[in-house]
Structure 1
């Protein structure tokens, strides 16, 4: 039987996130709304505090995976593979934005499911359970903020009518879709545990449910920031720390791992600043959101493969 090797300290980051989400909800209730500059400040803090840093360790993760598999690791091959993958996916975005968005959402759902349901057998049933769980997380965040998501989807898909139609159908059946997906995840989870037993960390999953539920009452920027820059990134940091240095204390290992991510995080920040500087100097005559989203999704794709290789090793 597989178990989650977590200690009490492992729950503290999630407890802090729950406290932050409740504090933000209280702020919103008392003031009637959280100012947009404050939302961006909190979102940016979560994004650059953990969201981007956890993706800036892919080179270390890939090298460790190669070592565990007894394969040579080449920096040239690693960088070339990254650039090739990003270039191909960038071209796909330029030609087929709606299809690329769907591909990105499915990949993200799989990635989130792997993070939220850890250390399980690599069976078809558990794989399906993880994927559907990830779909539930993304669907819940998007549909709970449908009013904010609708114009964003239109902009990044170049106002594609088919995408708009599918999205509006989903919005019209929000409760049915979410209830159905919850029941499907519950059924798959129960069946997976019955067929391939694992000791599920119910406290950890309860923390996730609380963060998602409270986040649904907050603006999209904060809700997504709490999940991605908070829950997902911090969970990944812990897993990466265990993967790269299993013998070290979880807390000190996570701190050292975070410091190793600082150079690439700073590089990402510099790239974003240059992007917005370019947009500002071009008199802001074009919409920056589609290009920014394409950039973020393109750099995310190689990360999904790097972390999947790590999760595959951890699940053994």
Structure 2
């Protein structure tokens, strides 16, 4: 990624897409491994189509939305990304999720508006000289909220929790938006998600370590690449724009079922925790 900075923007974009595909996409591909663990014993060989059909239907829905209503789809994707990144990075909701999740979305809008608009144009197919007004306003509103969260964390003795967000902010300040996002996605978001899955006692028992998780994700990652290759053939534009459009639209399409599945898993864990606590109280 450092070497790509010596290339024109076209080379930077292609390098970013390659890195996202190889190091970022596999963390979402592990959803299939989680589903296998949840459903295979009860459904037998039918577990995969039972899981994959609604998952891929949602993916197809988002891909279609990019072509029918690109503006609202872009807005929904960015808002969902803020919440998804924020809840996973902070491990909470509310102000911490908004503050941390907004870094990879709002900060490039504020610091590199023209370069960010170029990426958003490539992703959506819209012609944007600057980021949309609603995105600029939202980013400006995010700034005070993020500052408030940082002040509260510092006063509350949680200064060390600010180190990683500060490093991410620095990356978005000095690097082109797509390069900074790539580094965030593959060095912060994806590894944290994978590590959380590895530590979880029941979700994916076969994912014992990073190597095992990587190996288990490869078949679905390869399928994702094939879907991207098929989309490439029907996407207009010059090569760097096409590859970014296909990648970001496919990431958006995968984000929706990924978020919904993760929300279901969180609720399941919470319900299990409540039942376990109730049983322990009843035993006592």
- Measured against the shorter chain, the TM-score band is 0.7 to 0.9
Tell me the distance in 1 between the aligned counterparts of 2:200 and 2:66. Answer: 33
Q: Determine which of 244, 249, 252 is the counterpart of 1:297.
A: 252
**1:147 deviation in Å?**
1.6
Question: Displacement of 1:311 after TM fit?
Answer: 4.5
Query: What SS class does the counterpart of residue 216 from structure 1 fall into?
Result: helix
Q: Distance in 2 between matches of 1:313 and 1:151?
A: 41
1:307 aligns with 2:262: yes
Once residues 180 and 221 of structure 1 are traced to their aligned partners in structure 2, the CA distance between those partners, rounded to angstroms, is: 24
Residue among 142, 158, 162 paired with 2:126: 158
Question: What is the aligned partner in structure 2 of residue 239 from structure 1?
Answer: 196
**Taking structure 2 as the reference length, what is the TM-score of the superposition?**
0.73
Matched, 1:212 2:134: no
The answer on whether the counterparts of 2:197 and 2:203 sit within 8 Å (CA) in structure 1 is no
**Larger RCO, structures 1/2 (Cα 8 Å, 6+ apart):** 1
Contact 1:61 1:310 in 2 (8 A): no
Determine helix, strand or coil for the equivalent of 2:250: helix
Aligned-pair CA distance for 1:291: 5.3
Matches of 2:57 and 2:144, distance apart in 1: 39
Change (3 A) 1:184 1:102: farther
Structure 2 portions without partners, runs of 5+: 274-284
Deviations 1:149-188 (A, max 9, x none): 1133345153489973434x54xx97x5453132343477
Summarize the Cα distance change of 1:53–1:184 in structure 2 as closer, same or farther, 3 Å threshold.
Answer: same
- Separation of aligned partners in 1, 2:176 and 2:130: 26
Pair 1:268 & 2:236 matched: no
Counterpart for residue 39 of structure 1: 12
Q: Does residue 1:130 correspond to 2:89, yes or no?
A: no
User: Cα distance, 1:54 vs. partner?
Assistant: 0.3
User: Unpaired segments of 5 or more residues in structure 1?
Assistant: 1-19, 121-125, 194-198
Aligned to 1:180: 144
Distance 1:166 1:43 in 2: 27
Which residue of the partner structure matches residue 110 of structure 2? 143
Shift in alpha-carbon separation, 1:137–1:273, aligned structure 2, 3 A: closer
- The offset of 1:140, in angstroms, is 1.4
Q: Does 2:203 align with 1:230?
A: no
Counterparts of 1:87 and 1:78, CA distance in 2? 15
User: What is the RMSD computed on CA atoms of the aligned residues?
Assistant: 4.1
Cα 1:220–1:34 shift into 2, 3 Å: farther
1:268–1:204 distance in 2 versus 1, CA, 3 Å:
farther
SS at match of 2:174: coil
1:49 alignment partner, SS class: helix
The separation in 1 between residues aligned to 2:269 and 2:161, in whole angstroms, is 18
- Say yes or no: does 1:254 pair with 2:210: yes
Change (3 A) 1:300 1:138: same
